[in-house]
Chains A and B, each alone.
Chain A
Amino acid sequence: MKLNILLSNLFNLFLFLALSARAQDLVSLVRFADSRLDANDPDEAFSSFNRAFFFLEVYPATEITKSYLLHRMGDCHFKTGKFGEAIRYYGLAVKSAGNDTVRNDLVLMKIKLYLLQKDFYFALEELLIMDTPPLPDQRKMKEIFSGIAWFGLENFDSAGAYFNRLAETDSQKVLLSDLLKRLRKIKHPNPNVAQILSIFLPGLGQFYAGDLKNGLNSLIITGGLFALGINVVLNYSWIDAILAVMPWYQRYYLGGVQNAGNIARYRLEEKRSRIYKEIMAAVDSKKH
């Protein structure tokens, strides 16, 4: 009899333990995923967030929301440099965001990633749709991103208008307006002009863009091939020159024209990027 009671008690104990025990609950799983992301292990963190997202439907937890999990999955992709995927997850998180602050932060993060990917039209589209955020920091970021997006689209007047709004002190206003004036004046070297000059005389476009080494190099190579072509015409025939020298000549002649445009574009972008960095430094000087 005593043995029966003992066995029945043991059975009840095991039954209770079996029913009450859980391997891992949702909150601890998300906490683990957060810790993995903080420890710079985005792949492991992503798979844990993904698992938590799957079980959220079955075991709803008040502390965890869909939006939070989606935004953290976006963070994982951001850390691994997969900006396109991060944008997709942030976009999904926006739809289920609990309040305006979080929603605006998510939208701004999406815009930042579009800018980092140089998708300026997509960034601008999001910026134009977005309402004016209530928090000053978010408003400021929206202005900065608008300025950068217009800058990327080479519309410097619109970019200037947004950057000007960020000036808080008089000295900042003076500095920014001076930088924007300098930015609008940068039109030299024009890549189209450089290419046209190289069509007339190989190397001339490179000289115009300020690259003497490449200009001289192009002039010597194409000049040498031209001289070789003339020599073949005089000593052999037109057909020999066309068959033997023309393919080489056209290759270096057209390559020179293309290079002149690229060099001018590089110089122009370098000048603009220098001003852009100064603008960002001026805009950032009062921030945080």
Chain B
Amino acid sequence: MRLICTIIISLLSIFQGSPVFPQLYQTGDLKELFTPPHPETGFTTAKDNRNEIELFLSGLFLVYKNFISSQDGSHCTFSPSCSEYCVQSVKKNGLLIGLADSFDRLTRCNGMSPEKYIRNPETGLFDDVPEIFNRYIYKTDIQ
């Protein structure tokens, strides 16, 4: 009788012990929990240059980001930052329109700008990505 009871109880405990969540008992995802995010060093904006102007501008951007902007607190209102925006806009619109667009962005980079932007909940900054302009300086829908 005792033996039967023991077998029944152990069978029950085996049945009860089957995990509801297999992912609960894996601690792999908790191992990187306290690893601090590495400070940004490689900027994707400076990659994929198609001509010498873009290469030169990307070089200036990297020097500015690594030696000047890195010593400063975070002050830009937007994401991407004004320097990244400049490189992206020149790559999309060419040197002249891209630079004009970047100067326009600099005039908007303050808390009193009348334009309305969507705030990114992750970064806490306003989203403002450079758009493509056609040769009459109108914004186009083509990205």
Contact = CB atoms under 8 A, between A and B. Distances in A.
Nearest to A140: B25
Kindly state the interface size class of chain A when it binds its partner. Answer: 35 or more
B134 to A, nearest CB: 38
B74 to A, nearest CB: 9
Contacts of A112: 24, 30
Interface of B: 16-17, 19-21, 23-25, 27, 29-31, 33-36, 39, 67-68, 70-73, 75
B20 A251 contact: no
Contact of A280 (B16, B19, B31, B36): B31
B70 A217 contact: yes
Contacts of B31: 277, 280-281
B interface majority secondary structure: loop
A51 interface: no
Given A221-B71, A254-B73, A266 B36 contact: yes
B72 A105 contact: no
Given A116-B29, A259-B71, A78 B36 contact: no
Contact of B17 (A135, A214, A221): A135
B133 to A, nearest CB: 32
Given A137-B19, A255-B73, A280 B24 contact: no
Task: Pick from B36, B68, B75 the residue with the most CB of A within 10 Å.
Answer: B36
Contact of A116 (B19, B30, B35): B30
Contacts of B75: 251
A217 B67 contact: yes
Contacts, number: 86
A70 interface: no
Chain A interface helix/strand/loop/mixed: helix
What are the nearest 9 A-B pairs in CB distance?
A255-B72, A105-B20, A273-B34, A255-B73, A269-B36, A273-B35, A101-B16, A258-B73, A276-B34
B94 to A, nearest CB: 31
Contact of A135 (B16, B21, B27, B70): B16
Max chain A Cβ within 10 angstroms of own Cβ: one of B33, B34, B36: B34
A272 interface: yes
Interface of A: 71, 78, 99, 101-102, 105-106, 108-109, 112, 115-116, 118, 135, 137, 141, 144, 148, 151-152, 214, 217-218, 221-222, 251-252, 254-256, 258-259, 265-266, 269-270, 272-273, 276-277, 280-281, 283-284, 287-288
B68 A148 contact: no
12 contacts: A109-B21, A115-B30, A135-B17, A137-B25, A141-B25, A144-B27, A217-B67, A251-B72, A259-B71, A266-B36, A277-B31, A281-B31
A66 to B, nearest CB: 15
A273 B36 contact: yes
Contacts of A287: 25, 27
A159 B57 CA distance: 50
Contact of A108 (B24, B30, B72): B24
A225 B4 CA distance: 87
B17 A137 contact: yes
Given A270-B36, A288-B25, 16 more contacts: A78-B23, A99-B16, A101-B16, A105-B20, A115-B33, A135-B17, A137-B19, A141-B24, A148-B33, A152-B33, A152-B34, A217-B70, A218-B71, A259-B73, A266-B39, A273-B36
